[in-house]
Amino acid sequence: MASVEIHWMSTGEAARRLGVTVRTLYRLIDEGEVPAYKFGRVIRLQEHEVEEFIAHSRIEPGKLQHLYPDARRELSEAESTYN
């Protein structure tokens, strides 16, 4: 059986890597978004799982249109005014 070394991160390290507060990280863990492990009173995260979470969180182009529907309408109204 091959032995794979696990690189563990503290919650502080993981939160800094994600650019969020530790409180937000706890919420992500509690909601099942980021896997974490409890050893006694210590919570640890596997570095590769944090990196996978980051990769899966990437926003694909065109997925945020629902956040600015008025801006798109205003742009097309402005373009029709100039034509």
| pLDDT tens digit sequence for 10-46 | 999 999 999 999 999 999 999 999 999 999 999 999 9
DSSP code for 62 = T
Which pLDDT value is given to residue 36? 98
The total of other beta-carbon atoms located within 10 Å of residue 80's CB is 8
**Assigned CATH topology for domain 8-82:** Arc Repressor Mutant, subunit A (1.10.10)
- Domain locations in the chain as residue ranges: 8-82
| pTM of the model as a whole | 0.73
What span, in angstroms and rounded, lies between the C-alpha atoms of 52 and 36? Answer: 13
CA dist., res. 37 & res. 27, Å (int): 14
Distance separating alpha carbons of residues 6 and 9, to the nearest angstrom: 10
